[in-house]
Amino acid sequence: MVLGDDHHPGPFGLLLSALAAAEDAASRADERTRSPLGEGLKSRLAFQEACAWSWNRGEVVHLEDLVLHEEGLDIRLPDQELTRTRAALRQWRRAGAIKPAGLLSAQGVRGLINPRRGVRSQAVSDLWADAARGAGLLAEESPPRPMETDGTEIDDFLARAAAIATEDNDEALFQWFGLEQAAPKSWPSLLRAAVMLEAWVMVDPLPGQGHLGGILANGLLQRSGRLQHHRVHVEIGRRRFGADVRRPVGKSGLRRVIWQLRAIAASEALLLEEHDRISLARQVVARNLVGRRSNSRLAEVVEMFSDLPVVTASMIARRLKISQQSARSLVGQLGAGVTEITGRTRYQAWRL
Cβ proximity of 41 and 271 under 8 Å? yes
Is residue 103's pLDDT more than 50? yes
56 phi and psi angles, rounded to 5 deg? -65, -20
Task: Determine the angle formed by the axes of helices 189-203 and 253-286, rounding to 10 degrees.
Answer: 110
Mean pLDDT, range 67-85, rounded to an integer: 91
| pLDDT digits 0-9 by tens, 253-262 | 888 999 999 9
pLDDT at 145: 47
pLDDT value at residue 134: 47
pLDDT of residue 243: 59
pLDDT band at 182 (very low <50, low <70, confident <90, very high): very high
Residues 196 and 216 sit within 8 Å (Cβ to Cβ): yes
Residue 246: its pLDDT value, please?
67
* Residue 131, pLDDT above cutoff 80: no
pLDDT of residue 251: 62
Which fold is adopted by the domain 291-351? Arc Repressor Mutant, subunit A (1.10.10)
The band of 244, judged by pLDDT with boundaries at 50, 70 and 90, is low
Which of 7-11, 191-195, 288-292, 341-345 is predicted least confidently? 7-11
Q: Are 43 and 303 a contacting pair, CB within 8 Å?
A: no
Question: Which residue, 189, 213, 190, is CA-closest to 201?
Answer: 213
Whole-number Å distance between alpha carbons of 306 and 277: 11
Domain boundaries, the chain: 11-276, 291-351
Residue 237, pLDDT > 50, answer yes
Q: What is the mean pLDDT of residues 243-248?
A: 65
SS (H, E, C) the chain: CCCECCCCECHHHHHHHHHHHHHHHHHHHHHHCCCCCHHHHHHHHHHHHHHHHHHHCCCCCCHHHHHHHHCCCCCCCCCHHHHHHHHHHHHHHHHHCCCHHHHCCHHHHHHHHCCCCCCCCHHHHHHHHHHHHHHHHHHHHCCCCCCCCCCHHHHHHHHHHHCCCCCCHHHHHHHHHHHHHHCCCCCCHHHHHHHHHHHHHHHCCCCCCCCHHHHHHHHHHHHCCCCCCCCCCHHHHHHHHHCCCCCCCCCCHHHHHHHHHHHHHHHHHHHHHHHHHHHHHHHHHHHHHCCCCCCCCHHHHHHHHHHCCCEEHHHHHHHHCCCHHHHHHHHHCCHHHCEECCCCCCCCEEEC
pTM: 0.85
User: pLDDT at position 117, please?
Assistant: 56
Confidence of residue 138 (pLDDT cuts 50, 70, 90): very low
Q: Which of 281, 220, 276, 309 is nearest to 42 (CA)?
A: 309
Residue 326 has pLDDT above 60, yes or no: yes
What's the whole-number mean pLDDT along residues 161-188?
90
| Residue 150: per-residue pLDDT | 55
Mean pLDDT (the chain) is 84
